[in-house]
Amino acid sequence: MRKSVHVAVAGSLVLALGACSSGGGSGSGASADEISYWLWDSNQVPAYQACADAFTAKNPDVSVKIEQFAWDDYWTKLTASFVGGSGPDVFVDHLSKYGEFAAQGQIVPLDDLVERDAVDTSVYADGLVDPWRYADGSLYGLPKDWDTTAFFYDEQLVADAGYTAEDLWAADWNPDDGGTFEEIVAHLTVDAHGVRGDEPGFDASDVAVYGLGINPNFEETGQMQWANFTGTLEWDYLDENPWGTRYNFDDPEFQKAVDWFYGLADKGFAPAAGVFSEETLTQIGSGRVAMGTNGSWATGSFKSLDGIKVGIAPGPVGPTGERASLFNGVADSISASSQKQDAAWEWVAFLGSTECQDIVAEHAVVFPAIPSSADKALAAFDAKGWDVSAFFSYREEGRTFLPPITVRAGEVNAIASVAFEDIALGNADSSSLTAANEQINAVLED
């Protein structure tokens, strides 16, 4: 059953997780009164430009130059900028990435600045601050928002298949036969002759509409692929999270779930690797995919698809009796190479303030980290007629869990991404993850 999202956000966000001196020119080439700020989500640029305008109005001697890069390019450029000393003054950081930056001294610990300026970190929703404390206890980011993932779907294709929103919300899943979730996916699939995936004569080699889209994102978190499913198992990425030293990709139940997930393509219910080069937003927008997972941050993009009315359902209930989603709260970090760290800190503090987060809330693009601002975001989503309750359902009906937070995350992802892509391409089955897991653990033990 669908539950109302209109509860006190301060309560609904108590998420179960178990997610210097100023000087001359910056390495980014900015002018003396300008700091650079990098982010990856183009949908959020207008909201943060509005924050930047408000910040400069309060601090006339400092302006903010916002630069946006797509997700993959973002991390490549950021890493290269650290090596070359040309990084941004401030950038949006990610829980699965920042440990490596902290270990290498590329970002600034904020504890002394927080204490000096009496910044009240208790204003953020429970569970958002502590993951930003490195293994040594130092704080490296002030929370800006939080997200979960759910299933966006083409309402017309779902209705044509005889399903309702309530059917999607009631779906269950298991790694043996896929549960009612796979039944729905199979029936949503239609071949070029109009035969559905669960009907006799279905041609898996000539599919017109796939029941489930698969994002081409092969990462160790699985956030955009299999995490909504594996999160419903008695399984977690690490022996402890954050700062664990052993991954659990060798777990038999996890491997069974991975085989099930990528095996949907073999049945014709999902596109094989390489059929689509873009995420589920483009796939559903093409009319060739009925539903697919994506993050709460993408709501506006899905709702803006031309000619397609999109609904949102949470992940299915799994073997543990719960539905589940990876929970991520991004934050803003200061580059250690910045020559304008006083101004950079003022900007970070403003980004983490109620004033900025209220501005962001008005744009109905993400859920801010401060509960009162999140309330305002909900009102903004409601004003647009967008039901976003699916993203809160994990708190009400299931669990949320952190992405894997470790040192040497880049090396870990390099191994894991190749292993998962090989499975998707049919070059290996999930038992190959045991060898990859050994490689990853060796990296973490080194």
At 293, list the tokens: 């997972």
Could you give the angle at the alpha carbon of 417 between the alpha carbons of 426 and 214, nearest 5°? 60
pLDDT in tens, 92-123: 999 989 999 999 999 999 999 999 999 999 99
Instruction: Provide the phi-psi class of 256: left if phi over 0, else alpha when psi is between -120 and 50, else beta.
Output: alpha
Q: What is the pLDDT of residue 33?
A: 84
Do the domains 149-326+408-445 and 15-146+330-391 match in fold?
A: yes
Nearest residue to 138 (alpha-carbon basis) of 163, 170, 109, 179: 109
C-alpha to C-alpha distance for 185 and 220, rounded to whole angstroms: 25
- Model-wide pTM > 0.85: yes
C-alpha to C-alpha distance for 204 and 191, rounded to whole angstroms: 7
Q: What is the pLDDT of residue 84?
A: 86
Nearest residue to 295 (alpha-carbon basis) of 362, 388, 204, 386: 388
Strand order in the sheet with 142-143: 63-68, 34-39, 90-93, 331-334, 142-143
Nearest residue to 27 (alpha-carbon basis) of 100, 83, 104, 97: 83
Nearest residue to 73 (alpha-carbon basis) of 31, 41, 106: 41
CATH 3.40.30.10 fits 15-146+330-391, yes or no: no
Nearest residue to 390 (alpha-carbon basis) of 166, 240, 223: 166
b/e map of 246-262 (b: 16 or more CB within 10 Å)?
A: ebbbbbeebbbbbbbbb
- Sequence ranges of the domains in the chain: 15-146+330-391, 149-326+408-445
Q: What is the pLDDT of residue 142?
A: 96
C-alpha to C-alpha distance for 55 and 57, rounded to whole angstroms: 5
C-alpha to C-alpha distance for 440 and 414, rounded to whole angstroms: 9
Q: What is the pLDDT of residue 446?
A: 81
In angstroms, how far is the first alpha carbon of the chain from the final one?
Answer: 48
pLDDT, averaged in runs of 10, over the chain (446 residues): 38 37 37 86 96 96 96 92 91 94 95 97 95 96 96 98 98 98 98 98 98 96 97 97 96 98 98 95 98 97 97 98 95 96 97 98 96 95 96 90 93 97 96 98 93
DSSP state of 110: -
C-alpha to C-alpha distance for 172 and 434, rounded to whole angstroms: 28
Name the residue type at position 199: E
Q: Count CB neighbours of 7 within 10 A.
A: 15
Q: What is the pLDDT of residue 344?
A: 97
**Architecture in CATH of 149-326+408-445:** 3-Layer(aba) Sandwich (3.40)
Which of helix, strand or coil describes residue 373? helix
Instruction: Provide the phi-psi class of 343: left if phi over 0, else alpha when psi is between -120 and 50, else beta.
Output: alpha
Pairing of the two strands 323-326 and 398-401: parallel
